[in-house]
Structure 1
């Protein structure tokens, strides 16, 4: 295979490609399939929990309408799947109608279509720092200016978001939307506090922009009280959802292999998204839509989500316990109440990207933190996934990872001691030279 650096067609590629890069998780896929690797990297749900028999029954049901399942469908999605989404959103506190929902090929396509609809080159986006790497990839093709806002345990800090908006205004940057993953954020695992959700809505009204609420993990809560979505808060305040563009997906509450998500927004936005999707893939899979419709209409889907939460809670606890037991004291991590991820912060001198080959050599993998920033931040951070690996393997994986981190810390310490000793030797040598000089004089 020819080297990418020597690509002879480089002079023909569009400028937008220059800002695009692959996601670190995607790049790790070949490595993660290697036997013996304990992968704490991918954001994979545990699809084995669905069950073979349940899948067979579902397939048999869909087979009865095989002709429609194998056919093209409407760009915006089948009516049956929209009815399901109305029920799911009702469960999350948003009262909606079929016409407010638009089907996408996974939540990832929703990100791309929203970016295509709103962004011109140089437009601004406010988002958390760190933020979902897949969103950065989706936005990059439209060459926006990404402005990361710091987070704490309560999520994005609204005062810092205001500072970024004011800075953008002074610089003439047109900020189009605030992008947030409010529940059990990918990658940090933190949840945006209710009062901050209201503050972000106030900022959107004040600066006349949109909020893109990406909520794939909202139903994966293991503890604590559920919080209202930004869409439901806006609906509560105004009687309708106007500024919040809500992205949902079946990847976490059903299965990622069906590649089906949705956008909930006001009609004008959905019209533009419809046009954009027609140019992208015409329509999403009827087969996937019919499978999901059959399951959600004929099975206990809430019970299935509860089973997933029981599994993930146990694995999250295993990861947090292992981190507390094995990690050096200078390593810190988040304590998510749900979702799929823990975010770990290492001492500032450790480069998690440079350390990854050493970890893989010990048969454990993670995602380095710098892939979750548009700039060069997050180098001493890592994202750890707990949903896909059994608890005993999570414990062993964290133990191995802690060994790698400790080796890096010890190497740093030995280099500093060597430098310190060398400094003393140099000083002693200089003193001896001075003494010899005085004697010869």
Structure 2
């Protein structure tokens, strides 16, 4: 079959496609499957913990209802799954009921539906800098203007968010929502402080905005005390729960392969999301929903999450120990209390994207930082994942990565030394005598 030159159809593509690009982690998939590669790049939970017998038991339990499992379902999701979501949200201290829940095909679809419902071309979004690359991709199709708000080890800085919104208002920019990953941030690994969560709600009230709270990692806590979600704070303290659109997922506490997530929001928003989902996929998979409902009804899902957290903590510690042992002192990183990621800051003159091929050639992969910014910032950063690699391989991977970083630093030092020597000798560096 001859190759098709897709570029010849450029004149037919929608203008929205120009702003769309693939995620760095997706682009790396072919590389990550290469034998011998130590992948610190993906954001995979370790589904090997789930076990074959548990999977077989779920399959047997839904076989008696095979006809329903293979049929269309309601757009908003099966009631049994909504009951599970109410239970999961209660376990993290967030009140919910069936009427405020809408099942999606992964939280990623939730992001797309929120963007579809709220965004016109040119509308503004505030989000952390850096932010989740998958959210940037979901939003990009609707061609918004994205403003990154600085963050530190306590999460998004509210004063910076307020100033950004004031500037946007003066410029006549319509900002529709604030997007945040407050717990064990992807990619930064940090957690937003409780007082900042409250201040962010006050800012949303002041500027009459929606907050999109993306919480895929909230239950993956290894140390410290859980913090209330923005959704819970709004319901319990503010008294009129209508401003936070909460996104959850079963990808981290059950399995990403079932592709199930949810949106918790007020009825008006859910109505619009319902219409948007009907146009996208009619309904999420009944088969996946019934598998999930069976597992959460029959198995001890909390024990499964505890096993995950124990394993991930061991691997996080292995990564932090290896970074401390091998990385040059000019390199810095975050210390996540949970989640899946560590965010590494290199010296400002290093480019993690340019360095990636050298690392991959030595069988180590990571995600460069610039993919987590809309405007190409973050070049001297990298995201490292610890959840899917054994501690010994994590340590070896960091050791190799540190060697690559040190080589790039030494190259820079050699070039600067050569430039200084050339200047002193009166010969411009890089010219022949």
TM range (shorter): over 0.9
Q: Please show how residues 271-420 of structure 1 align to structure 2 within 5 Å.
A: 271-420=271-420
- 1:225 corresponds in structure 2 to 225
- 1:10 corresponds in structure 2 to 10
TM-superposition CA deviations, 1:348-406 (whole Å, max 9, x none):
11110000000000000000000000002100000000000001000000000000000
Matched, 1:49 2:49: yes
- 1:117 corresponds in structure 2 to 117
TM (normalized to structure 1)?
Answer: 0.95
Tell me the CA shift for residue 135 of structure 1: 0.1
Tell me the CA shift for residue 427 of structure 1: 6.7
In structure 1, what is the Cα distance between the partners aligned to 2:217 and 2:373? 20
In structure 1, what is the Cα distance between the partners aligned to 2:361 and 2:427? 41
Tell me the CA shift for residue 2 of structure 1: 5.5
Structure with max Cα Rg: 1
SS in 1 for 2:184: coil
In structure 2, what is the Cα distance between the partners aligned to 1:162 and 1:394? 40
Tell me the CA shift for residue 241 of structure 1: 2.0
SS in 1 for 2:206: helix
The alpha-carbon distance between structure 1 residues 65 and 194, as it changes in their structure 2 partners (threshold 3 A), is: same
In structure 1, what is the Cα distance between the partners aligned to 2:427 and 2:124? 54
- 1:434 corresponds in structure 2 to none
In structure 2, what is the Cα distance between the partners aligned to 1:166 and 1:348? 30
Residue correspondences, number: 427
TM (normalized to structure 2)?
Answer: 0.97
In structure 2, what is the Cα distance between the partners aligned to 1:95 and 1:289? 22
In structure 1, what is the Cα distance between the partners aligned to 2:51 and 2:23? 30
SS in 2 for 1:103: strand
SS in 1 for 2:379: coil
TM-superposition CA deviations, 1:1-29 (whole Å, max 9, x none):
8697x710001111100001100000000
- 1:433 corresponds in structure 2 to none
- 1:436 corresponds in structure 2 to none
In structure 1, what is the Cα distance between the partners aligned to 2:413 and 2:82? 59
In structure 2, what is the Cα distance between the partners aligned to 1:237 and 1:403? 50
TM-superposition CA deviations, 1:124-178 (whole Å, max 9, x none):
1000000000000000000001000000110000000001100100010011000
SS in 2 for 1:7: helix
In structure 2, what is the Cα distance between the partners aligned to 1:111 and 1:63? 32
The alpha-carbon distance between structure 1 residues 3 and 394, as it changes in their structure 2 partners (threshold 3 A), is: farther
- 1:131 corresponds in structure 2 to 131
SS in 2 for 1:401: helix
SS in 1 for 2:212: strand
TM-superposition CA deviations, 1:166-224 (whole Å, max 9, x none):
01000100110000000000000000000000000000101001000000000000000
In structure 2, what is the Cα distance between the partners aligned to 1:296 and 1:117? 31
In structure 1, what is the Cα distance between the partners aligned to 2:180 and 2:394? 28
Tell me the CA shift for residue 238 of structure 1: 3.5
- 1:40 corresponds in structure 2 to 40
In structure 1, what is the Cα distance between the partners aligned to 2:192 and 2:90? 20
SS in 2 for 1:160: helix
Structure 2 gaps of 5+ residues are 429-433
In structure 1, what is the Cα distance between the partners aligned to 2:3 and 2:394? 38
The runs of 4+ residues in structure 1 deviating greater than 3 Å are 1-4
SS in 2 for 1:93: coil
In structure 2, what is the Cα distance between the partners aligned to 1:424 and 1:174? 55
In structure 1, what is the Cα distance between the partners aligned to 2:39 and 2:207? 42
In structure 2, what is the Cα distance between the partners aligned to 1:361 and 1:158? 41
- 1:185 corresponds in structure 2 to 185
Structure 1 gaps of 5+ residues are 429-441
